[in-house]
Amino acid sequence: MAGLLNIGLTGLNAAQTQLSTASHNITNAGVAGYHRQTVMQNSLPAQFTGGGFIGQGTQVVSVARSYSQFLETQVMQADNRRAEYAAYGQQIGQINNLFADANYGLMPALDGFFAGVQEVAANPTSIPARQTMLSNAQTLVTRFQSMSTRLSEIRQGVESEIADTVEGINGFAQQIAEMNRFIVVAESAGKNVQANDLRDQRNQMVTELNQLIKVNALEEKDGSMSIFIGSGQSLVVGDKINRLAVAPSATDPLRATIAQEGAGGSTTALPERLLTGGKLAGLLGFRSESLDPAQSRLGLVAVSLATAFNRQHELGVDLNGELGQAFFKLGAIDVQPSGAVEVGFDPDAIGQLTDSDYRLINHDGTNFTLVRLSDGAKLVDNDVLPPSVDGLNITAGGLAAGDSALIQPTRNAAQGIALALTDTRQIAAGNPVSVAALSTNAGTATVSGIVVKDVSDMPQSASGVPAFDDVTLAFSETAPLTLTASFGSPPVSFIPSPAIYDTSEAGGKTFTFTIAPDPAQPGATFSFEFKLAGVPASGDRFVFSPTKAGVADNRNASLLGALQSGKLLFNAGSAADGAPTASIGGAYAQMVSSIGNKTREMQVNEKAQQAQFDQASSMRDGLSGVNLDEEAANLVRYQQAYQASAKVMSIAQRLFDEVLTIGR
């Protein structure tokens, strides 16, 4: 009877453990990271008698988690990539909305500005038209500045999120290290005894850490878990952690980089390419792959527009008859360290300008290496600096031998653009050179299409009015005609030379005048081209002279308007003939398209990873999740087992009482 009582007691204890475990499963069904627990039982060793082996009841061996490392790894991998795409997509969506906005993007302001230019071309002496052009120009400048400011705000937000993410990584690492210590102590109580709830809590911490950065988790023999990131850098080993830190980049002090703290407070920078997966990788990828190019491309559009427009504007004359001034002004080019290098834009090679950053290395004060960082090309390799490279004029006077400097020509150029003119009369809509045929001309020859190429050394009055002597064009009397021009001394030079004109040439022929006003300064020249058509008669003459003030001349305004559709950008090796391949609007449209495609790519990838995550989670939950219906049924079953075991004990007690009664 004592054996029967003991058997009932073991069953009662086992059923009670089963009931407690099922209740524990039910109450933790909604807890993130919880794995269903199951009671593992064995029968006690049987007692041998002459009639055979008689059972002695049951015992609880352990309470095990329903856990699969394979399924957990699949869930973590899918969740890690999903978090990366989500972080990237959230950030790039801001840029996509900013640039592609039909009302507040750059294109409406750009179109409005050139509409104002065309209005001046249609009414060159109209002050209201000129005022509209200046107002639209100010709108365009403000749009450049506001968009650049918004990009800078996004950059500040990204830098802040990177710092917060690193702090989150360190926080989870500290919690995992502490949990490792608790688990090691708890599981030292016996062999193969696992602290299930503590392990669930630690796994949930690893899962949340994995959303921030891709981790490799390795469980040690003592039950602790080691966490590795990147290419094998240890983050957690036992109860020790190697913290991450946000530090200024060695190549760009204004940019944060991720480093790992070492002994004595030292830090070792981790290359961004090693920090894959998770929110941190998404932020870093967005910053380098989308934010940097977008801000630099916006600056490139601003620089190209301002430089090309200024160059053409300075080739014209305003209502006062004075040569044009710069229409836009640009801010200083960003150089780190500040003042180490002087950099300017080459107006004659603006099409070669790129949206890349550059690294300039001074080897010995004479020889330099200039690296274009976007593709790693060495534009100058341990040699002297050329006068112009990639549309930049670089002077390294303040850069000491052995040092290097980071040059960011267009990164913040859109922020620095401004309007240089405020007086409507200063809009240079006219051409400084006009032509008139002598009244005695008897032929059908015409001169048209005067395009000024260079006015840098054109003689002018103290107020800036062109004051060069008249240039008279004459012809020989034999065919093909030879052109000659008189302009004081020395004579005018022609391109092509000799200046031969065959009257049978369809549509006429274009010639270029290059004029040296001062024989003592052969380099001081100005030039313009014109088109000659028709058949001149003997003695016909054409006189080129300065355009008078106040004349309704729209020739330069028309050329300014043509800049909207003219190919100005991207001729740095992108075209076989070295010609520019994109207009201002085209370059901006390429950027909008690129950002839109990247945004869509991130959205599609995030949805795909979400589907994989849901599928992997479903498979894991099928094994590890708590089914409330199943647990409810288990409660009834274990309750009945408890009652049955209690009944066994009750019967044993009655039998014992009967024996005692017989003894009386």
Give the per-residue pLDDT at 299: 95
Give the per-residue pLDDT at 574: 45
Whose tokens are 């003459």? That residue is 541
Give the per-residue pLDDT at 498: 83
pTM, rounded to two decimals: 0.86
Give the per-residue pLDDT at 280: 95
d(CA 228, CA 186): 24
List phi, psi (to 5°) of 324.
Answer: -65, 150
Mean pLDDT, the chain cut into blocks of 10 residues (664 residues total): 75 86 89 89 81 82 88 92 95 92 89 96 95 96 95 94 95 95 86 84 94 92 90 89 89 85 80 90 94 94 94 94 94 88 89 91 91 91 91 87 91 94 95 93 91 87 86 82 75 80 83 74 74 89 91 93 88 57 88 93 94 92 88 88 83 76 72
Q: If residue 406 lies in a helix (H) or strand (E), which one and from where to where?
A: strand 404-408
Angle at 396 between CA 392 and CA 397, to 5 degrees: 135
Q: If residue 512 lies in a helix (H) or strand (E), which one and from where to where?
A: strand 509-515
Angle at 140 between CA 134 and CA 142, to 5 degrees: 105
d(CA 569, CA 345): 14
d(CA 303, CA 301): 6
Q: Which amino acid is at 117?
A: V
Give the per-residue pLDDT at 578: 60
Whose tokens are 């200063």? That residue is 426
> In this structure, which long-range contacts are made by residues 366-375, counting pairs with CB atoms below 8 Å and at least 24 apart in sequence?
368/396, 370/394
Give the per-residue pLDDT at 337: 86
Give the per-residue pLDDT at 320: 93
Furthest CA-CA distance within the chain: 162
Give the per-residue pLDDT at 663: 67
What residues have CB less than 8 Å from 79, skipping those under 6 apart? 207, 210, 211, 609, 613
Give the per-residue pLDDT at 81: 94
Cβ atoms of 158 and 91 within 8 Å: the answer is yes
Angle at 14 between CA 10 and CA 20, to 5 degrees: 145
Whose tokens are 């049978």? That residue is 504
Beta bridge partners of 59: 42
Q: Which amino acid is at 383?
A: D
